[in-house]
Amino acid sequence: MRTVVLATGLVLLGAGLALTFQAAPSSSGTQSLTLAANQEQADAAQRRGRRGPRGRRGPRGRRGPAGVARISVVQGPTVSLPPGGAAAGGTSQATCPGGTVVVGGGWNGGGTASNANVTVTDNHAVRSSWVVSMVNTGNTVGTFQAEALCARQR
């Protein structure tokens, strides 16, 4: 005795979208499931036949643009931030050498004392440089320097 199961349903996804499904045995006796966004797609999926043989390989595509050959880190000058609020700010700028472009950056605050309270107020690329500005609202001196990631194209 062979049991045949056929299930059909509709799932509402919200915002006016619905998903229909249909499960039925295939010619080989296994279950198949068809999901479609609308009835037209479900009908088209049932009309499709078996998958055909793989086609011939297409022609080779064009060569893509040159990639990055090397990334280097360039450091800006070390800036000392005296204690004391908004007036105690400073800016460091790390500039990439000629023939390279800035692809990222940040800052190094390795010389900042633990009880300095520095806040980054600016941290972004400007042309071929990376610029960082900070203020120190703590009660001791802090230091930092901008760092730029510079890439040379092949």
Q: Which of 135, 142, 108, 140 is nearest to 120 (CA)?
A: 135
**Residue 33 corresponds to which amino acid?**
L
DSSP 70-86: EEEEEE---EEE-SSEE
Cα 103 from Cα 77, distance rounded (Å): 19
For the chain, which ranges sit under pLDDT 50?
1-17
The whole-model pTM stands at 0.54
Q: What is the pLDDT of residues 67-108, one digit of tens each?
A: 777 899 999 999 998 887 666 789 999 999 998 999 999 999
Cα 114 from Cα 126, distance rounded (Å): 30
